[in-house]
Amino acid sequence: MNQIDRPESFDTEALRKKISEIRTIGPDEKIDDTAKPDLNPLAKRIAQQFRTDTYSPAMIVGLLRLLDFCGLFAIGYAILMLYVAPGLNDWLIYCGILAGGSALTVCFLQLADAYQVTWLRSALRALPRLVGAWMLAFASLALVLFFTKVGGPYSRVFFGAWFLSGAAFLFLKRAFISYSIRHWVRNGVMERRAVIVGGGQAAKDLIRSLESQPDNDIRICGIFDDRDERRSPSVIAGYPKLGTVAELVDFARLTRIDMLIISLPLSAEARILQLLRKLWILPVDIRLAAHANNLRFRPRSYSHVGNVPMLDIFDKPITDWDSVAKRAFDIFFSVVALVCLWPVFLGAAIAVKINSPGPIIFKQKRHGFNNEMIDVYKFRSMYTEMSDPTARNAVTKGDPRVTSVGRFLRKSSIDELPQIFNVLKGQLSLVGPRPHAVLAQTQNRNYSDVVEGYFARHRVKPGVTGWAQINGWRGEIDNDDKIKFRTAFDLYYIENWSLLFDLKILFLTPIRLLNTENAY
C-alpha cells in the first residue's frame, strides 16, 4: 500500500474503498497469531471508572421532542375539558387542533435549532426561540382556521389560556432540563466517551481543540499509541498513554466507550488502514481527526465534535432510537411467542425430564454483545454426564451423547426456544448473529483464528435466529468455509440492518427450519 506523497492529490474515494475492503473476508486472509497483551494496572483502573452506561444526547433530544408534544397537548386538553367541555364533533376538531399545534411547535423548535445541546444548557438564552416557535405555531393555526372558515364557533378563552400556559410550560421545562444537563455533564452521566488513537503533537493539538469548545461533551478516557516514549510521551496534554493499539481492543471491551478518534495525518494512509484493521471490530464510532490537515473537502464530508472537523470512518451499528425500536420489537414478538408456544415449551420440558435424568434447562457460556460472556439457555439435549458446556467438541451426526428426545429437539430447533428468556433479559435479540460457545472450534482452531475480523459480529447483540441461519448456514461447523461464510452473512446483516430486515428473517425462520440437513 503506497504512502500519499502530496496532500493536494489525496483521493478520498480511494481511501474509502480501501476502508471498505477491511470488512472483506477472504479465504486466504493472513491471521495474526500473536498473543493479546494484558492491560497494565493504570488502564484497568481507568476502565473500571467507565463501566456504566451514559445518556446519549440523541436519545435525550428525542425524549424532549416527545415531552414537548405530549406536554402541550395535555395542557390544552385539560383546559378544553375544564372550560369548554365540547360535544363529540367539536371534541374531535379540538383534538386535531391540539395535535396540530403541538406538532408544529416541535417542528419550529427543531428548525430553530432549539434542540441543540448548546441551547438546552441555558433556558434564558433559548427563551426567544421557544416563544418564537410557539407564536409561529399559533399563527399557523390561526391562518388555517381563518382560511377554512371554521374558527368562529371555537372558544377564544381556550386558545388564550392554552397559549399562556403552553409558553410557561416550555420555559419551565427548559429551565429544569438545562439544570439537569449541567448536573449530568458534571457527573459524567451525559457525555460522549472518547479514546485518542495516536500520540505526539497531533494528539496534543486535538485535545487542546476539543477542550477549547465551550459546550464540549467529550470525555477523553486516555490515549493509546504503539510508538515509544521518544515519539509519543507517556502523558500528553494531561492525559496518560494507557497502552498500545492492541491493548486498546481489550480496554474497549471493558468500558462503555462511544468513540475512537484517530489523531494521525491523512498522509499516513498505510498506518491508518493498519489501525482500522484492528479496531473496526469494536462497537464504537471511529473518526479521523481532520483539524490539523491542510486538505479541505466538501462540508458534507465532515462531521463535527464541537467545531473540530472529523471524517467518519465507521459508525456504531444500531444505536439510539434504532436500539429502542429493536428492543421493543424483541419484547413484543418474544411475548407473542411465549403466548403461542407455551404448549411446546411444556411438552418439551416433560419429554426431556422423562427421557433421561438431569436438569431440563442446559446453560452454556457464549459470547454476547462486545464479547461479554452470557449464559444461554437451551432444553437439555444430551445425557447429563456427557454434556459439554464449553462446546469444544461439536455435536456430529449420530453423536452418542445426544438423547433420543434431544435428537428431535435439535433437528426441529425446539431446543433453542428457552433463549426467548435470554431475549427478555436483554442478553440476546430475536434476530442477530448466532452466539457461539466460548471455546467453539473447527478442526482444533478457534473461529477467531480462522476468520480475521470474526469478533466484528459481536458489535450487535447476538440473536436466536439470524441471516446466516435462514440461508442454510446452521448446524455443525466442521470446516473453515462454514465459519467464513457464516461470519460473512452475519456482517452483511449488521451493515444492512433494519426492522423490516428483522421481520423478514423472523418470518422466514420457521420455513427454513424445515430443512434439517445440517441439524443433528
420 — pLDDT class (breaks 50, 70, 90)? very high
Q: Return the pLDDT at 151.
A: 55
Contact 6, 261 (CB under 8 A): no
Q: How far does Cα 255 stand from its chain's mean position? A: 15
Cell of 176: 429544569
Q: Return the pLDDT at 42.
A: 86
Residue 366 has pLDDT above 70, yes or no: yes
* Residue 33 φ then ψ, to 5°: -95, 10
Strand pairing category for 463-465 and 429-431: parallel
Q: What is the pLDDT of residues 454-486, one digit of tens each?
A: 888 889 999 999 998 888 877 667 677 888 888
Cell of 114: 432549539
Q: What is the pLDDT of residues 353-365, one digit of tens each?
A: 898 888 989 888 8
Q: Return the pLDDT at 476.
A: 67
Cell of 468: 446466516
Q: Return the pLDDT at 2.
A: 37
- Kindly tell me the sign of the dihedral angle through the C-alpha atoms of 108, 113, 117, 118: negative
- State if pTM tops 0.75: yes
Q: Return the pLDDT at 464.
A: 93
Task: Tally Cβ neighbours within 10 Å of residue 195.
Answer: 25
The segment with the largest mean pLDDT, out of 43-52, 103-112, 233-242, is: 103-112
Percent of the chain with pLDDT over 90: 27
What radius of gyration, in Å, describes the C-alpha atoms of the chain?
28
Residue 424 has pLDDT above 90, yes or no: yes
Q: Return the pLDDT at 399.
A: 75
Q: What is the pLDDT of residues 257-291, one digit of tens each?
A: 889 998 887 777 788 888 888 888 899 999 888 76
Q: What is the pLDDT of residues 123-149, one digit of tens each?
A: 888 888 999 999 999 888 888 877 776
Which is higher by pLDDT, 330 or 319? 330
Q: Return the pLDDT at 298.
A: 53
Residue 410 has pLDDT above 60, yes or no: yes
Q: Return the pLDDT at 313.
A: 85
Which is higher by pLDDT, 110 or 308? 110
7 — pLDDT class (breaks 50, 70, 90)? very low
Residue 27 has pLDDT above 80, yes or no: no
Q: Return the pLDDT at 23.
A: 57
Q: Which of 50, 52, 22, 3 is nearest to 314 (CA)?
A: 22
Residue 114 has pLDDT above 60, yes or no: yes
* Mean model confidence pLDDT for the chain: 82
Domains in the chain: ranges and CATH: 11-22+38-54+191-316 (3.40.50.20), 57-186 (no CATH), 321-512 (no CATH)
Residue with cell 436519545: 59
* Residue 294 φ then ψ, to 5°: -80, -10
Q: What is the pLDDT of residues 227-242, one digit of tens each?
A: 777 777 788 888 888 8
Which is higher by pLDDT, 181 or 172? 172
The segment with the largest mean pLDDT, out of 200-214, 264-278, 329-343, is: 329-343
Q: Return the pLDDT at 308.
A: 79
Residue 17 has pLDDT above 70, yes or no: no
Distance (Å, rounded) from C-alpha 212 to C-alpha 459?
A: 32
Q: What is the pLDDT of residues 343-352, one digit of tens each?
A: 999 999 999 9
Q: Return the pLDDT at 328.
A: 95
181 — pLDDT class (breaks 50, 70, 90)? confident
Distance (Å, rounded) from C-alpha 69 to C-alpha 60?
A: 14
69 — pLDDT class (breaks 50, 70, 90)? very high
Task: Tally Cβ neighbours within 10 Å of residue 211.
Answer: 13
499 — pLDDT class (breaks 50, 70, 90)? very high
